[in-house]
Amino acid sequence: MVKTHFSDDFAIARRNMVKEGLFARGIRDKRVLEVMGWMPRHVFVDEALWGEAYGDCSLPIGHGQTISRPYIVARMCELLKLSGSEKLLEVGLGSGYHAAVLSKLVRSVFAIERIPELAERARKKLEWLGIKNVIVRIGDGSVGWKSFAPFDRIVVSAAAAEIPSALPEQLTDSGRMVVPIGAQEEQCVMLLERRGDTILRKEIERVRFVRLVGEQRKRVGT
């Protein structure tokens, strides 16, 4: 029997992912758990990798990039404290999976991807899923998207040695930003909160992301 995108086999795999890979590891945001229990992650990877799509692992998507582990996607979404009304900037669209999850948790997603082939592939996947509140742009995400700023939330899906200075400047007052910072081998997820002219910073947990490329990336490992 040929598996369809929404076959029972994948539904069971998603439920197991949520139960064992997310809830058991401390994810408690009900909206995040619900969306990730529905969103078909396998659609965003090559068919040869469908059998691995719901394990807690990153997977290659071409061009030296990866789709993030489900736990990291859930953790970053939870840290953003989303109510559903936010305008959000995503730096590093990649496969489009994280943007797809976010599309069900916020009002609108402005996603930037520097690799045209990945941006176009992700755009088609989002369109196929009927997701209409993700605006995709090909370009340098490290400088943000000034024409649509300020943003209530910003999430960066690639690591830099230092926080790109242009991004916190594009947050609203009381806005939140999640970004991995550190050396190429290992980084730390940082949570930033804007309070007027002050940016509060908090280290969350160790992770490993592909490096951020762009004008303000501050080369990882230097």
Reported as a single tens digit per residue, the pLDDT across 112-158 is 999 999 999 999 999 999 999 999 999 999 999 999 999 999 999 87
Q: Is the pLDDT of residue 213 over 50?
A: yes
Averaged over 69-75, what is the pLDDT?
A: 95
**pTM of the predicted model as reported, rounded to 2 decimal places:** 0.89
What's the confidence (pLDDT) of residue 183? 64
Amino acid at 68: S
| Domain range summary for the chain, segments of one domain joined by + | 8-207
Q: What 3-state DSSP class applies to 116?
A: helix
Scan for tokens 């229990």, then name that residue: 37
pLDDT 10s digits, 28-55: 999 999 999 999 999 999 999 999 999 9
DSSP state of 159: B
Residue 72: its H or E element: helix 70-79
- Tell me the pairing of strands 151-156 and 171-182: parallel
| The three-state (H, E, C) secondary structure of 39-57, written as one string | CCHHHHCCHHHHHHCCCCC
Q: Give the residue among 163, 121, 164 at the shortest CA–CA distance from 140.
A: 164
Residue 179: its H or E element: strand 171-182
State the CATH architecture for 8-207. 3-Layer(aba) Sandwich (3.40)
Q: Which residue has the higher pLDDT, 86 or 7?
A: 86
**Does residue 150 have a cis bond before it (omega within 30 degrees)?**
yes
Is residue 44 within 8 Å of residue 125, measured between CB atoms?
yes
Q: What 3-state DSSP class applies to 128?
A: helix
Helix axes 8-16, 30-38, angle to 10 degrees: 150
What's the confidence (pLDDT) of residue 125? 97
Catalytic residues: 68
Averaged over 53-79, what is the pLDDT?
A: 94
What pairs with residue 198 in β-bridges?
A: 195
pLDDT band at residue 161 under the 50/70/90 scheme: confident
Averaged over 207-219, what is the pLDDT?
A: 52
Can you read off the two tokens belonging to residue 104?
């069900």
